Amino acid sequence: MEKPKRPSVVPGMTKKVETSQCGPLLVIVNLPWEIFCRMGNPGGCQNSWGEALARSISVGLRNGVPVEEYIEQLKDIKCSCPSPKGLPAPHSFLSCPDSIARVLLEALAPKNNGGEAEYGTSNNKSNETTA
C-alpha cells in the first residue's frame, strides 16, 4: 500500500504551553501529517524527549494511526512537575505529554464539533501506584 504524499503546504496550528519546570513547550500540529515539539534548550534533554515523541507520533499519523489514539494514550499521564499552580482548568495539565494531548485535541476540535474541545479523564491507571 502506497502512503499518500505530503502536500507542499499544510494548514496547522502552533500553541505555546507554559510548563512549571521544563520551560515553555511549543507544539506545532499539522494534521493529518505531523507534529513538532520544542521544549527547553536546543540539544537539552527535554527538547530531545519532545522531538522523539513528536517524530513517533508523526510516523504513526502518516501510517494511518488516528490522532484520537494518541490523545487517549497521552492524556492523564502524570509527572512530578505539572502545570503552574493557579491556572484555570482549560490551561492546567498533569505533564508535558498530557499537554500535548490537549493541543492535539484542540487541533482536532474544529473537525469534530465546531471548535469545542472536550477533555475528560480516562480510566488509564498506568501511572498510579498501588501500595
Per-residue pLDDT of the chain (131 residues), as tens digits, is 677 888 999 999 999 988 877 888 999 999 999 999 999 878 888 899 999 999 999 999 999 999 999 999 999 998 887 776 666 666 678 889 999 999 999 999 876 655 445 555 444 434 443 33
Q: For residue 5, tell me if it sits in a domain.
A: no
Q: For residue 7, tell me if it sits in a domain.
A: no
SS3 16: strand
HSE of 26 in the Cβ direction (CA atoms, 13 Å)?
A: 8
Q: Three cell numbers at 84?
A: 503552574
What pLDDT sits at residue 129? 36
What pLDDT sits at residue 22? 80
Measure the CA–CA gap between 57 and 72, rounded to whole angstroms: 13
Q: For residue 125, tell me if it sits in a domain.
A: no
Q: Domain of 22?
A: 13-113
What pLDDT sits at residue 58? 96
- Nearest Cα to Cα of residue 58 among 2, 16, 100: 100
Q: For residue 6, tell me if it sits in a domain.
A: no
Cβ atoms 12, 5 nearer than 8 A: no
What pLDDT sits at residue 90? 63
Task: Tally the domains of the chain.
Answer: 1
What pLDDT sits at residue 120? 55
- In eight-state DSSP terms, residue 20 is S
What pLDDT sits at residue 35? 97
Strand partners, 26: 16, 38
Q: For residue 60, tell me if it sits in a domain.
A: yes
